[in-house]
Chain A
């Protein structure tokens, strides 16, 4: 059991970090496909070595710490995002037996880690001591705090139906029907909030390059910038796998493929959806984003919670 456990941790870390790196290639190729161009296609088969080239480039760039920055916090900030996202993966069941931490607070742990992830933006922007970075950080903080609220509320529908915060039990409870059907509204809200949490386009307002230079990571270079980059791709992977776990039956699927393969396939579908969103959606204005969140998504998620609770109550009363 012990040996199995360490293999799982090592395997999950290995696969995740490679996925995050591989997404550099996948995203650029798919964006190119949707925008009618070739994308990186020269280095290696299908341009796959662009990952290697990008990584080497990042490592060889000058790692500049601005003299006007708060040095300790400046160095600390990029690590927070990667650490918090990687910790969240501990509670996700990748397959019937592939799970790092079988906790009865799994879902809450995911929410906690995603709320700690805010600090990397906030601290990075603040420590840079640069007005664009500060503006980006403030936008990031308010955006992520607001969208976390609906994210949590949307998830409560799933918790109500399955009666557990444990992600393994949530997957098991979806044997009869995936929660995408009874919780469609919750799924849509979670998807939108997930895009905002990972501050991907169209909600990449903290780093909006056309107005804020590069937002919170304007002063970062070299591998510190690379950490933000990897953190973003890991975040995309995390939200995709959470969507799969909560609404699309996790590793459940027809028996001709093992569970973990189903999980990977489903997750990649959602990662592709994230990339398609980037390729196709315009960026909203900052106040539009906040207004949309508080005036549309927040009442909707409350409504979803209320209706789900009422239906569940009626059904259990009928069963008695």
Chain B
């Protein structure tokens, strides 16, 4: 796939390692953004420019911003770095690491298999993505839409409360 792929892949792996090992949650999130961006580059290289753009817009641009938003609201960061350092003991990470190593071994085994069909890069343009989403996969789209709807209704229910505005001029009660 050429040097571009290997550079992007190396950046992705390195930054993901940094995500796990940083004690300051904000730094971990920054590395996570870098990891997502490098994955977007890999998507682009493999002929999925639409996916690459959505990866940046949705994951790096919206979801990560929300997570950072909550980190700021909860005032985490350097204040909690000590806690994180205490939590990241070998007793915690050794189990997941073994499981990951099993997966890695499996992946290496699969790569070493001779049957390599992944050679040609077929570019999938935005129109093709739309055609397949609203063609064969319409049911999945509808189901995802319903799930999101349920989430919105739930969020509305949780956030709903009688709100009393106490102000000299704005004395009134209303439910939001």
- Report whether A126 and B60 are in contact in the complex, using a CB–CB cutoff of 8 Å: no
A145 contact from B53, B65, B72, Cβ within 8 A: B65
Judge if A97 is at the interface, Cβ distance under 8 Å: no
- Report whether A112 and B53 are in contact in the complex, using a CB–CB cutoff of 8 Å: yes
Neighbouring B residues of A108 by C-beta, 8 Å? 50, 53-54, 57, 126
Neighbouring A residues of B27 by C-beta, 8 Å? 72-73
Minimum C-beta distance from B167 to chain A (A) = 12
Judge if B33 is at the interface, Cβ distance under 8 Å: yes
Judge if B68 is at the interface, Cβ distance under 8 Å: yes
Instruction: Report the Cα distance A312→B71, complex, angstroms.
Output: 44
A70 contact from B49, B73, B77, Cβ within 8 A: B77
Contacting A at CB under 8 A, from B37-94, are 49-50, 52-54, 56-57, 60-62, 65-66, 68-69, 71-73, 77-78
Instruction: Report the Cα distance A126→B49, complex, angstroms.
Output: 32
Judge if A229 is at the interface, Cβ distance under 8 Å: no
With A138-B69, A145-B65 known as contacts, the answer to whether A103 contacts B57 (CB < 8 A) is: no
With A105-B49, A145-B62, A148-B62 known as contacts, the answer to whether A115 contacts B57 (CB < 8 A) is: yes
Which partner residue on chain A sits nearest B78 by CB separation? A70
Q: Which of A14-22, A116-124, A179-187 contacts B (4 or more CB under 8 A)?
A: A116-124
- Report the interface size class on chain B: 20 to 34
With A70-B26, A73-B26, A115-B56 known as contacts, the answer to whether A104 contacts B126 (CB < 8 A) is: yes
Minimum C-beta distance from A31 to chain B (A) = 32
Neighbouring A residues of B18 by C-beta, 8 Å? none
Judge if A134 is at the interface, Cβ distance under 8 Å: yes
Could you give, for residues 139-165 of chain A, a 1 whenever the CB lies within 8 Å of some chain B CB and a 0 otherwise? 001100100100010000000000001
- Report whether B62 and A115 are in contact in the complex, using a CB–CB cutoff of 8 Å: yes
Neighbouring B residues of A116 by C-beta, 8 Å? 56, 60-61
- Report the interface size class on chain A: 20 to 34
Neighbouring A residues of B72 by C-beta, 8 Å? 122, 125-126, 134, 137-138, 141
Neighbouring A residues of B33 by C-beta, 8 Å? 119
Judge if A286 is at the interface, Cβ distance under 8 Å: no
Neighbouring A residues of B52 by C-beta, 8 Å? 105
Residues of B participating in the A interface, judged by any CB pair closer than 8 Å: 24, 26-27, 30, 33, 49-50, 52-54, 56-57, 60-62, 65-66, 68-69, 71-73, 77-78, 125-126
Given contacts A111-B53, A116-B56, A122-B68, 14 further A-B pairs with CB under 8 A are A104-B125, A105-B49, A105-B50, A108-B53, A108-B57, A111-B61, A118-B61, A119-B65, A122-B69, A126-B72, A145-B65, A148-B61, A148-B62, A152-B57
* A–B complex contacts, Cβ < 8 Å, 13 sampled: A105-B49, A108-B126, A115-B57, A115-B61, A116-B56, A116-B60, A122-B65, A122-B72, A134-B72, A137-B72, A138-B72, A141-B65, A145-B62
